[in-house]
């Protein structure tokens, strides 16, 4: 579990990352646009840097070239000696670690906002590692209050004891934005406009913090990953069924014991055999078929987030001699 | 323009083709299922053959490996001398032409039903070459009457003077089923169930025809392709904008002169400059970005389809000696 200390200084080094997955088009096209016209990412106390994380996958309009970039920011990959046969994304992770990190060092960027799309009906989802990231929880709260019509939900992806592996884990603090449903390779105007507004609100929050705003404690509700559930499979490993029509598009809704979760191609229903209500997310995400994931089971948790104190005022400049 | 004579004999050789595009999952998984369990495709007068058209693209969950298979069934590709450097799909088109054709020959299959998905909001769309295919028009009419709740629309894809190039053009008669929206690489139960029911109804229609049913003349409404419209582009050829929120998901609805069709990343609306109302289809289809197509413009046409006469009864078997 990664505990992130609250920042004691203004956040000056901020990055907005698109195209970590090359076929998630909202972030790809926002990053490309901001690389040409970065003015939108400027605030009085900082200028966020736009980054196109996976240029080769983006050019090919694929999630990745050799392996999933957003799983390669582990110390094993980042610290191993470089080799000409390394997967493209491992090499690229090391480059991004140089640009935005090094991970877990004092020189790392203060904040990374990472932009994603999903084919699942996740609506507007904010992805953080765990409840321990107090700054990110305050940012989530700010986005929820700024855009109540979006019902922004918070997903906590890190399992207990698991090392962080995402691009945003390279920075001192970070958050993922996950907007869906959007097919891979399709750019929907409604989602791009929504993502652009969320990024603007996130940068505004950092500006408020930098200029000395304090944020009070609050109660937060979130969905914490518990496990993943695979599709029914044939003995040869092929799909034997699909997500049940009654589960499709029901991300974040309660799944009760005995409810149908899959339907086989022979027409048989497969029921949820858990003993407690679960909250499935990323239901029927295209990129997860190859990972053997039909959906994640989460538990709904409520927890207290402590206040985020105002930064101490910067020392007055020395009087002119 | 391809004119298809009405069949004078029962249709015995029928194929149902899935996976012509390897990431359009309804047809991929129906074909795989029927290859294991073909009983569902049997009718008293014939047994339809399930075909997985592009196994390599299906295994990779991509539209194609080297080039779009559903554009390669032209005489130039089919009759050229084979070469080891031929694109995979050109080789595969020749194999399918051997299996289902040869195209335009007396030995060709009687009917090919080709199963597709689109990321566009096309609902249930039936794709034929032109109004001249009387048998296919009667099949469309049958599907419309069998499933009025689906509002099956008919799209005529062949431009005047254009050679046919699709897998179904190899057979004496054919029809495409295009169901959407469904993301590439995602299998939605609702769409698979709908496609399965449409295939069953199509085979039932062929059975009715084979057993001597006559079908009366009727008036048909369809959407005929006129031209394609590209996205706004930068000088370097990159996207400069996206499908306007007011056009997204409005396939088959009237687009009037002056209505917005695109929004640039700088926030400017691009208006439809045509002089007459058009009916856009395949709006924002993922696979068409690389073809430079944001949508097709169609015209709505109404035309008369002549009666489909009953087959003459088969000659009585010779009396036993």
- Specify the pLDDT at position B25: 98
Q: Give the model confidence (pLDDT) of B285-319 as tens digits.
A: 999 999 999 999 999 999 999 999 999 876 666 66
Beta bridge partners of B116: B178
Chain B residues whose beta carbon lies within 8 Å of the beta carbon of residue A287: 185
How confident is the model over A138-142, as a mean pLDDT?
98
Averaged pLDDT score across all residues of chain A = 95
| Low pLDDT (below 50) residues in chain B | 1-2
Regarding an ipTM greater than 0.90, the answer is: yes
pLDDT digits (tens, 9 = 90+) for A244-299: 999 999 999 999 999 999 999 999 999 999 999 999 999 999 999 999 999 999 99
Distances (CA, A) of A250 to A123, A254, A279, A283, A289: 11, 8, 9, 8, 18
pLDDT at A317 over 80: no
Return the pLDDT at A321: 58
Across the interface, of A186, A263, A284, the residue whose CB is closest to B119 is A186
Residues of chain B in contact with residue A244, where contact means CB-CB under 8 angstroms, are 189
A310-317 average pLDDT score? 77
Distance from CA of B243 to the nearest CA of A (A): 6
A284 backbone dihedrals φ, ψ, rounded to 5°:
65, 40
- Residue-level pLDDT at A315: 65
What is the rounded CA–CA span in Å between residue A77 and residue A84? 14
What integer is the mean pLDDT of A147-152?
A: 95
DSSP letter string over A242-258? EE-TTTTT-TTS-B-TT
**If you search the block for the tokens 């402590």, which residue do you land on?**
A306
Chain A partners of B192 at a C-beta cutoff of 8 Å?
242
Instruction: Provide the pLDDT for residue B160.
Output: 85
Question: Which of A34, A189, A196, A237 is most worth mutating to test chain B (most B CB atoms within 10 A of its CB)?
Answer: A189
- Note whether B273 contacts A: Cβ–Cβ < 8 A: no
Residue A141 has pLDDT above 50, yes or no: yes
Would you call B183 an interface residue with chain A, using a CB distance cutoff of 8 Å?
yes
Q: Residue A238 is nearest to which of B32, B244, B266, comparing CB atoms?
A: B32
Quote the minimal CA–CA distance from A260 to chain B in Å. Answer: 13
Q: Which of B37, B119, B189 sits opposite A183 (nearest CB)?
A: B119
Distance (Å) from the C-alpha of residue A16 to the closest C-alpha of chain B? 17
Distance from C-alpha of B129 to C-alpha of B151, rounded to nearest angstrom? 20
pTM for the whole structure = 0.95
Q: Which residues of B touch A232 (CB under 8 A)?
A: none
Average pLDDT on A128-143 reads 95
User: Are residues B190 and A265, on separate chains, in Cβ contact within 8 Å?
Assistant: no
Structure confidence at residue A1 (pLDDT): 41
CA distance A105 to chain B (A): 36
Is the CB of residue A200 less than 8 Å away from at least one CB of chain B?
A: no
A206 to chain B, closest Cα gap in Å: 24
Is the minimum CB–CB distance between A72 and chain B shorter than 8 Å? no
Size of interface A-B (CB pairs under 8 A): 86
Q: Are A190 and B248 inside 8 Å of each other by CB? A: yes
H/E run at residue A95:
helix A88-100
Nearest to B187 among A37, A181, A242 (CB): A242
Contacts of A193 in chain B (CB under 8 A): 245
Mutation to test the A interface, candidates B33, B41, B185, B188, most A Cβ within 10 Å:
B185
DSSP B265-281: TTS-EEE---SS-BEEE
Interchain proximity A186–B286, CB inside 8 Å? yes
- Is the Cβ pair B238, A32 closer than 8 Å? yes
> CB of B225 within 8 A of CB of B159?
yes
**Any A CB within 8 A of B244 CB:** yes
Kindly report, residue by residue over A55-65, the tens digit of the pLDDT. 999 999 999 99
Residues of A in contact with B193 (CB under 8 A): 245
Concatenated DSSP letters of A108-150 = S-SEEEEEEE-SS--EEEEEES-TTBHHHHHHHHHHHHH-GGG
Contact residues on chain B for A192, CB-CB shorter than 8 A? 242
Q: Distance between CA A193 and CA B265 in Å, rounded?
A: 9
Minimum distance, in Å, between the CA of residue B70 and any CA atom of chain A: 20
User: How close, in Å, is residue A261 to chain B by CA atoms?
Assistant: 11
Which residues of chain A form beta strands (DSSP E)? 14-18, 42-43, 46-47, 49-52, 111-117, 123-128, 153-156, 174-180, 218-229, 241-243, 260-264, 269-271, 279-281, 295-305
Parallel, antiparallel, or unpaired: how do β-strands A241-243 and A260-264 relate?
Answer: antiparallel
């Amino acid at each position: 579990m990664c505990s992130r200390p609250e920042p004691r200084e203004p956040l000056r080094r901020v990055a907005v990352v698109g195209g970590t997955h090359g076929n998630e088009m909202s972030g790809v096209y926002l990053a490309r646009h901001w690389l040409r016209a970065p003015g939108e990412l400027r605030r009085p106390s900082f200028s966020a840097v736009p980054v196109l994380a996976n240029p080769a996958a983006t050019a090919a309009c694929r999630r990745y070239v050799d392996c999933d970039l957003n799983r390669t920011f582990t110390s094993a990959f980042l610290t191993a000696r470089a080799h000409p046969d390394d997967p493209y994304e491992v090499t690229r992770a090391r480059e991004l670690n140089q640009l935005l990190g090094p991970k877990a060092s004092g020189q790392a960027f203060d904040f990374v906002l990472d932009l994603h799309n999903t084919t699942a009906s996740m609506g507007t989802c904010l992805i953080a590692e765990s409840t321990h990231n107090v700054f990110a929880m305050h940012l989530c709260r700010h986005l929820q209050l700024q855009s109540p019509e979006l019902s922004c939900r918070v997903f906590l992806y890190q399992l207990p004891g698991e090392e962080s592996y995402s691009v945003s884990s390279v920075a001192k603090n970070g958050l993922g934005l996950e907007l869906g449903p959007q097919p891979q390779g399709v750019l929907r105007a409604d989602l791009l406009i929504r993502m652009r507004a969320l990024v603007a609100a996130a940068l505004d929050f950092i500006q408020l913090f930098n200029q000395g705003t304090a944020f009070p404690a609050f109660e937060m509700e979130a969905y914490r990953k518990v496990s993943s559930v695979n599709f029914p499979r044939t003995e040869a490993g092929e799909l034997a069924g699909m997500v049940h029509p009654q589960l499709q598009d029901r991300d974040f809704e309660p799944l009760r014991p005995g409810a149908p979760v899959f339907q086989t191609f022979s027409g048989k229903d497969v029921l949820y055999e858990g003993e407690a209500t679960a909250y499935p997310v990323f239901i029927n995400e295209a990129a997860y078929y190859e990972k053997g994931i039909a959906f994640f089971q989460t538990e709904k948790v409520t927890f207290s987030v402590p206040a985020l104190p105002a930064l101490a005022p910067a020392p007055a400049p020395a009087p002119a001699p």
